[in-house]
Amino acid sequence: MLEDERGKIGKRVLALAIPVLLENLFQLVFSFVDMIFVGFLGAVALAAVGLGMQVINVILAIIASLTVGTMVTVAYSVGAKKHNDAARYLENSLVLGFYLSILILLFGLFGTDKLLQILGAKGDLLYNSSLYLKYILIPSFLIVYMSIISSALRGSGDTKTPLYVSIVSNALNIFLDYVFVFGKFGFPKMGVAGAALATTLSRLLGMVILFYIIYKRNDFLSCKFSCKIVPEKDVSTQILKIGIPTSLEQLLFNMGALLYATIVLSLGTKVYAAHRIALNVESLSFQPGFAFGVAATTLVGQYKGAREDDLARLASIESWRKAVIFMGSVGVLLFFFPEYLVQIFTRDMEVIKCASSVLKIIAVIQPLLATANVMSGSLRGAGFSKIPMVISGVGMWSIRIPLAYVLALKMGLGLTGAWIAMATDISLKAVANYYMFIIKKYYKKESFKLRYEEAISN
């Protein structure tokens, strides 16, 4: 029977993963164009947006406490054919999102300058970074609600709608960047503030479209929106139990990445430039792993909700196999032709040589990077988000950072040593996540299902 299902599940995996992959690739392209526009304003403007994005990444990690929890609980509800409960989870997540938006709004109003000063921003950099963040964070409900609804749609098995909305929203962002940054069509030249305003208005359009879609659709995610302002305790607790560990995982990773970056920065400006360029190129290879990880989270959640544990395992394996094929193919390009990809970002031969050499390291472990992404996604889909949180935290703080310090600085291996440390961390995470989900058979564990049924019955 499982062999008969393999082909069907493989098609479902591709149907879910490809739109997510395309969405992420489009966002990468749009963000590159975005940065090009800002780059015309000078180094201070570029640094201000870059610093602002670092703060926003932390905010996004916090929002993940709702987005991941929503995706998994909706997936479970769909798998269990409890369609009313899917809408119930979404509605409660939006109520929680309202209160999170208020906290982000208050931070945008009163906390940005203080944080930026702690990070070392002064003068024009402080002013522009603060202005950028205020335009993004004060209308915080836009990013919160867009993220929650998109995650609910993915959990239901609809990854195409977020793709289409993202394309429309980001295309508008690029057009408005041109209008507001440079002052076209009678609008004043706003510089960095214009880039932030363009982002905010494009998110407003995206949010309106998403709300319209879930209000008008007639299936399990149809939400007619009562004026509820107090979330249901049991349902909200279920969402946060799944989502908070993922949020903490991202926060631990982002903080660790900052410390890891300081180790690389101590190697010199050109080495750090090579590191950043190599990360930009490597991010292209990461996208298939993320996309198939989302597919695994959705399908494992749906099959667990339907009490089909063996199919949950098969969905994870099929997602893993396809991720390995996609990322292994990218790995071949990274290994044999890294210079051509690096030259997109720089013409400095020293930087090109340095970045190309470390890309070969990450190229070799592409199958392991695929494994880490898909198996951690599978564990989240089964409701065990604490496991990848622990594995990721231990990997970053006990392996990547100390090993990078020893290899790069103490042993004199430079950037190569830092990337060997990163590759070691990724490899061990892959083995640990695979061991927990497949070997230890966490796809058969019932703890999340029992909590889920208890929450719904109240």
Dihedral sign, CA of 53, 55, 60, 63? negative
Of 231, 264, 298, which residue sits at a domain end?
Answer: 231
Q: Is residue 181 part of a domain?
A: yes
Q: Is the pLDDT of residue 101 over 90?
A: yes
**Residue 86 contacts residue 217 (beta carbons within 8 Å):** no
Question: What are the tokens at 415?
Answer: 């950037």
437 and 374 together in one domain: yes
| Distance, first Cα to last Cα, the chain | 36
d(Cα 90, Cα 149) in Å, to the nearest integer?
7
pTM of the model: 0.85
Q: Is residue 408 part of a domain?
A: yes
267 and 189 together in one domain: no
Of 183, 202, 231, which residue sits at a domain end?
Answer: 231
Q: Is the pLDDT of residue 352 over 70?
A: yes
pLDDT at position 259, please?
86
15 and 130 together in one domain: yes
Q: Which of 69-78, 152-161, 271-280 has the lowest mean pLDDT?
A: 271-280
For the residues 179-204, what does the mean pLDDT come to? 92
d(Cα 452, Cα 458) in Å, to the nearest integer?
11
Question: What are the tokens at 38?
Answer: 């800002």
For the residues 137-165, what does the mean pLDDT come to? 92
Q: Which of 7-11, 253-257, 283-287, 426-430 has the lowest mean pLDDT?
A: 283-287
Q: Is residue 405 part of a domain?
A: yes
pLDDT bucket at 447, cuts 50 / 70 / 90: low
Q: Is residue 393 part of a domain?
A: yes
For the residues 307-317, what does the mean pLDDT come to? 93
pLDDT bucket at 451, cuts 50 / 70 / 90: very low
Question: What are the tokens at 403?
Answer: 């090993």
**Residue 359 contacts residue 419 (beta carbons within 8 Å):** no
Domain residues for the domain of 298 are 243-458
**Residue 61 contacts residue 251 (beta carbons within 8 Å):** yes
SS3 (DSSP) at 73: helix
d(Cα 411, Cα 282) in Å, to the nearest integer?
25
d(Cα 361, Cα 45) in Å, to the nearest integer?
33
Best-predicted range by mean pLDDT (47-61, 129-143, 418-432): 418-432
305 and 378 together in one domain: yes
* Rounded (5°) CA angle 319-293-364: 80
**Residue 379 contacts residue 433 (beta carbons within 8 Å):** yes
pLDDT bucket at 226, cuts 50 / 70 / 90: low
253 and 188 together in one domain: no
Instruction: Look at 44 and 191; give whichever has higher pLDDT.
Output: 191
215 and 285 together in one domain: no
- Mean pLDDT, the chain, integer: 87
d(Cα 216, Cα 259) in Å, to the nearest integer?
46
360 and 431 together in one domain: yes
Q: Which of 164-178, 226-240, 288-302, 314-328 has the lowest mean pLDDT?
A: 226-240
Q: Is residue 198 part of a domain?
A: yes
Count how many domains the chain has.
2
Of 176, 206, 231, which residue sits at a domain end?
Answer: 231
Question: What are the tokens at 449?
Answer: 């299902």
**Rounded to 5 degrees, what are φ and ψ at 432?**
-65, -45
Q: Is residue 236 part of a domain?
A: no
User: Widest CA span of the chain, in angstroms?
Assistant: 67
159 and 264 together in one domain: no
306 and 437 together in one domain: yes
Q: Is residue 238 part of a domain?
A: no
Q: Is the pLDDT of residue 241 over 80?
A: yes
Q: Is residue 16 part of a domain?
A: yes
Which residue, 280, 302, 246, 376, is CA-closest to 82? 302
pLDDT at position 458, please?
45
Count of beta carbons in the 10 Å neighbourhood of residue 343: 16
349 and 445 together in one domain: yes
d(Cα 113, Cα 110) in Å, to the nearest integer?
7
d(Cα 63, Cα 48) in Å, to the nearest integer?
23
- Provide the percentage of residues in the chain whose pLDDT is more than 90: 54
pLDDT at position 4, please?
66
Q: Is the pLDDT of residue 452 over 60?
A: no
Summarised one tens digit per residue, pLDDT across range 39-81 is: 788 877 877 887 788 788 889 889 999 999 999 999 988 888 8
Instruction: Look at 453 and 199; give whichever has higher pLDDT.
Output: 199
218 and 317 together in one domain: no
Q: Is the pLDDT of residue 215 over 90?
A: no
For the residues 113-123, what does the mean pLDDT come to? 83
Q: Is the pLDDT of residue 219 over 70?
A: no
For the residues 92-110, what does the mean pLDDT come to? 94
**Residue 151 contacts residue 68 (beta carbons within 8 Å):** yes
341 and 408 together in one domain: yes
d(Cα 395, Cα 363) in Å, to the nearest integer?
20
